[in-house]
Amino acid sequence: MRVLHFFKTYYPDSFGGVERTIHAISKGSLAHGIQPEVLSLSSDPSSNTLEFDYHMAYKAKLDFEFASTGFSRHVISKFFELSAKADLIHYHFPWPFMDLVHLIARPQKPTIVTYHSDIVKQKTLSYLYRPLMHRFFSSIDRIVVTSPNYLASSEVLKKYRHNTEIIPIGLNASDYPRASEELKEKWRLRFPRPFFLFVGVLRYYKGLHTLIEASKHVDADILVVGEGPMEAELKTRVIKSGLTNLHFLGGVNDIDKAALLDLCTAFVFPSHLRSEAYGLSLVEAAMFGKPMISCEIGTGTSFVNVHNVTGLVTNPNDSSDFATAMNVMLHDKELVKRFGANAYSRFRSELSADLMVERYCHLYRELKRFRSAGKRGI
């Protein structure tokens, strides 16, 4: 069985949360007898079309971008070519141009779309886009949502609940290295006090302003791993506040990240907007058996981090509430131990890549069987 994944970006041009999910599904589905291919856009398609972990990552020429949406004339013909060979098309939303390509091509194959996120930032343009979006969703055999929390809170998905299935995003622990004691000792010497850890791209919706304010009231170090467009502004804010316990580490390699995850008291994730649809960094923390502190924003973050089970969930944009949660973790070692054990247990039972891939492969085969019988959906 051949499955074509279609999204605006993919490795090696970009490898964020959606791309990592596509990779995990593609890599894992090979063991189920499914041959995946991925089609995306690139400013340098000839160099960036390559084989990646035993599947092809095809590229079409990116013509231009507008409102975070890539456009390409070439991708239409490339989609016709690759979809003709595929048994099933797997779309990844949001990408408005993808909807248009689908409606132009009208592939006579089973189709699913993974609904990764609402369109949050481009609110004005989203009103103009809605008719196209609803035509797209109405023509898809099955919509996959990544958490029950997101399904319950998304205005867009209310119309399609009869045609949705929940498949949480999972990660594969074997893809992550484990740090040596020597490396962990290096980090202990650098940060000997208890510390909290944040990992992520420094974007507008990550809520790091809340973390900065909260750190004023926490007698521990806070390590921020990652780079991004908000970096300079956030560093300036820390300097003006006179804070000495919040440290920007920039990007670190996987083995150092593993060491920091092993050593941190808890993982902090203060994202305050629905643009944070799931939070793969939280899944990583659960994989390492770490308690978490996140905010209630009605998305998958509160599916991964269950309040008073795997960690604490606070009000968004509330630095006082966030600081209180951090201090609880800092002073209650038994609670930290219990939350961490629960987080690891939840990772194994709900958030592993194997389980995610198994669910997708079952859905692929069911959709193909129903389409062969002349039916749509399940």
Residue 285 within any structural domain of the chain: yes
Query: Which token pair is 271?
Result: 């994202």
The answer to whether residue 282 scores a pLDDT higher than 70 is yes
| Predicted local confidence at residue 374, as pLDDT | 65
- What type of residue sits at position 327? N
Query: Which token pair is 186?
Result: 């290096």
Identify whether residues 159 and 238 lie together within a single domain.
no
Answer yes or no: are the C-beta atoms of 147 and 261 closer than 8 Å. Answer: no
Mean predicted lDDT score pLDDT of the chain: 95
How many structural domains are present in the chain? 2
Of 197, 347, 331, residue with least CA distance to 258: 197
Identify whether residues 164 and 218 lie together within a single domain.
no
Identify whether residues 239 and 320 lie together within a single domain.
yes
Confidence grade of residue 124 (pLDDT, cut at 50, 70, 90): low
Residues in the chain: 378
Tell me what percent of the chain is helix, strand and coil, each rounded to the nearest 5.
Answer: 45, 20, 30
Identify whether residues 154 and 253 lie together within a single domain.
no
| Predicted local confidence at residue 126, as pLDDT | 72
The answer to whether residue 70 scores a pLDDT higher than 80 is yes
The answer to whether residue 122 scores a pLDDT higher than 70 is no
DSSP labels, 204-265: GGG-HHHHHHHHTT-SSEEEEE---TTHHHHHHHHHHHT-SSEEEEE---HHHHHHHHHH-S
Instruction: Give the domain CATH number at 284.
Output: 3.40.50.2000
Identify whether residues 123 and 37 lie together within a single domain.
yes
Tens digit of each residue's pLDDT (9 = 90 or more) over 290-315: 999 999 999 999 999 999 999 999 99
Identify whether residues 153 and 33 lie together within a single domain.
yes
Answer yes or no: are the C-beta atoms of 114 and 89 closer than 8 Å. Answer: no
Residue 5: burial class (beta carbons within 10 Å; 0-12, 13-18, 19+): buried
Residue 96 within any structural domain of the chain: yes
Residue 339: burial class (beta carbons within 10 Å; 0-12, 13-18, 19+): buried
The answer to whether residue 378 scores a pLDDT higher than 60 is no
Identify whether residues 28 and 92 lie together within a single domain.
yes
Tens digit of each residue's pLDDT (9 = 90 or more) over 90-117: 999 999 999 999 999 999 999 999 999 9
Tens digit of each residue's pLDDT (9 = 90 or more) over 167-183: 999 999 998 999 999 99
Of 116, 271, 252, residue with least CA distance to 186: 252
Residue 378 within any structural domain of the chain: no
Identify whether residues 37 and 112 lie together within a single domain.
yes
The answer to whether residue 356 scores a pLDDT higher than 70 is yes
Identify whether residues 365 and 280 lie together within a single domain.
no
Average pLDDT over residues 218-247: 96
Answer yes or no: are the C-beta atoms of 241 and 171 closer than 8 Å. Answer: no
Identify whether residues 295 and 203 lie together within a single domain.
yes
Residue 363 within any structural domain of the chain: yes
| Predicted local confidence at residue 375, as pLDDT | 59
CA atoms within 13 A on the CB side of 127: 2
Identify whether residues 137 and 209 lie together within a single domain.
no
Q: Please give the residue range of the domain that contains residue 367.
A: 2-172+353-372
Confidence grade of residue 128 (pLDDT, cut at 50, 70, 90): confident
Residue 377 within any structural domain of the chain: no
Answer yes or no: are the C-beta atoms of 6 and 373 closer than 8 Å. Answer: no
Confidence grade of residue 372 (pLDDT, cut at 50, 70, 90): confident
Identify whether residues 88 and 234 lie together within a single domain.
no
Q: If DSSP states are collapsed to H, E and C, what string results for 111-153?
A: EEEEECCCCCCCHHHHHHHHHHHHHHHHCCCEEEECCHHHHHH
| Predicted local confidence at residue 370, as pLDDT | 81
| Predicted local confidence at residue 346, as pLDDT | 97
The answer to whether residue 377 scores a pLDDT higher than 60 is no
The answer to whether residue 207 scores a pLDDT higher than 90 is yes
- 124 contact partners, CB below 8 Å, separation of at least 6: none
Helix (H) or strand (E) holding 72: none
Q: What is the percent of the chain where pLDDT is above 90?
A: 92
**Phi and psi dihedrals of 127, rounded to 5?**
-65, -40
